[in-house]
Amino acid sequence: MYEYFNGLVIREGTKDVPAESVEALFQDAGWAKETPDWQKEKFTLIFENSTWAFTVWDDNQMVGMVRVISDKIMAATIMDLAVLTPYRGRGIGQKLVKCCVQKLPHGDWFAHTSADNFSFYKQCGFEVRDLSENGTCTYYGFIQARKDGHR
């Protein structure tokens, strides 16, 4: 599956995500510095072992990504969400979160993140309980299900 978003392409899938593109996003986000060659395959394996993933492309350059771990029934966790610095502020991150939540709209969603990102997740509809602590933001799908008349 793919869709267009503001001149970019969003692809869904956990296979064939290029390790070097993931590493570049991790480096830009400050999550990785110098990865030894023997560890570079982890950037592909984290996607292959994820439940869902979306990548954002500007021609042949991957400029954003999100990956999710889920039981596909009740709960899901956004593990990594990154957008290259020059592409931030264009709504890409919010679009990626929306793509994720649509996979399990009435499930409970969690975002594994730092306190620096709490305001972003609040804008995406997640609840933040303690802004002073690193941890998890939550989005309770049952609340939306009630609004939609399903519960």
Side chain identity at residue 101, one-letter code? V
Give me the chain's average pLDDT, please.
89
Tokens of 88: 């931030």
Comparison of pLDDT for 37 and 69, the residue scoring more: 69
Question: Residue for token digits 């793509």?
Answer: 99
Q: Where in the sequence is the domain holding 50, given as residue range(s)?
A: 2-147
| Number of domains making up the chain | 1
Give the pLDDT of residue 124: 92
- What is the layout of strands, in order, in the sheet containing 61-70? 2-5, 8-12, 52-58, 61-70, 75-83, 108-113, 135-140
**pTM (2 decimals)?**
0.86
CATH code of the domain containing 109: 3.40.630.30
Q: Tens digits of per-residue pLDDT, 77-99? A: 999 999 999 999 999 999 999 99
